[in-house]
Amino acid sequence: MSKIAFVFPGQGSQVVGMGQRLANEHPEVMDYFKKADERLQSSLSSLIFEGPQEELTKTTNAQPALLTTSIALLNFFQKSGIQADFVAGHSLGEYTALVAAGALTFEEGVYAVRKRGEYMEKAVPNGEGTMAAVLGLDREKLAEVTKAVDDSGFPVSLANLNCPGQIVISGSSKGVELAGEKAKEAGAKRVIPLEVSGPFHSSLMKPASSELRAVLDSLDMKNAEIPVVANVSADVMSDSAEIKEKLIEQLYSPVLWEDSVEKMIELGVDTFIEIGPGKVLSGLIKKINRSVKTYSVSDEETCQSVIDALKEEKL
């Protein structure tokens, strides 16, 4: 019996105008953008629809903007009756997955990621921390490199284990620079500095964790109705207390995306549907395992083509 996973993108997938046409044509989609504006008491929707991109890309805006757009798309897509057996999201996308799984209400999710973005930006002064993608080096070798640099007093660690040969490192600016140089010496093909506002998923994010805990404690977290595969463990979670702990750990721990996808495949998933702007996760999943089917839903057209493809498979 084939199983379906819905996966939700993280920061970096945001683009001005995402979800706008669908929202303009379907009042029930526009409702989500209005609810987000109301909960955050700001005009997030006009920033999503009109930009500027620079403002939308700020962590405090990008996180609620992506969650809002992805959940609005999800609800439109689910009118087809297609349901997920598992959900997962990349970093910020994990919050979207939790809303999809019924562990958080939409309004709580939007509020939580706005606060999460604020705390992440505040944890490390701008310019003092950064991230870089390391291509073509396996995780064991790269872990040795980052540990050596970290032990020498310059914080750096593995942050996103995205797919074979693509790992993001995160930490102090000097730590990431040194680890990048050593990674090349160890055989990495390329090291690409990322344009981010902080060293996400590194130990430098720990100061933000107590503030995030206070926010999560204020929410009415429920057990997930659909199993969620967690970033920090690459394992299934559904208990509300465990979800909360894993979200706090996720701030300063690596995102085990490759392992999470492998876990879902092991549990019988052969169809992954990325819901949200872009196709970043679909691309990574194909690099992890070429035999599974991947689809992406980002507007009405892609939504319909995925529904048609899945119906055809069942015939």
**Longest pairwise C-alpha distance within the chain:** 60
Cis peptide before 52 (omega within 30 of 0): yes
Which H or E run contains 28?
helix 27-40
- Is position 91 annotated as part of the catalytic site? yes
Structure tokens at 45: 């929707």
According to DSSP, the β-strands at 3-8 and 269-275 are: parallel
Of the candidates 91, 170, 260, 296, the residue annotated as catalytic is: 91
Q: How far apart are CA 169 and CA 193, in angstroms?
A: 10
> By the 8 A CB rule, do 135 and 168 touch?
no
Of the candidates 201, 202, 253, 260, the residue annotated as catalytic is: 201
> By the 8 A CB rule, do 145 and 99 touch?
no
> By the 8 A CB rule, do 272 and 292 touch?
yes
Using only C-alpha atoms, the chain has a radius of gyration, in whole angstroms, of: 19
Structure tokens at 120: 């992440």
Q: How far apart are CA 289 and CA 272, in angstroms?
A: 11
Backbone φ and ψ of 82, nearest 5°: -75, 125
Amino acid at 154: F
Cα dihedral across residues 80, 82, 87, 91: positive or negative: negative
> By the 8 A CB rule, do 299 and 275 touch?
no
User: What residues are labeled active site?
Assistant: 91, 201
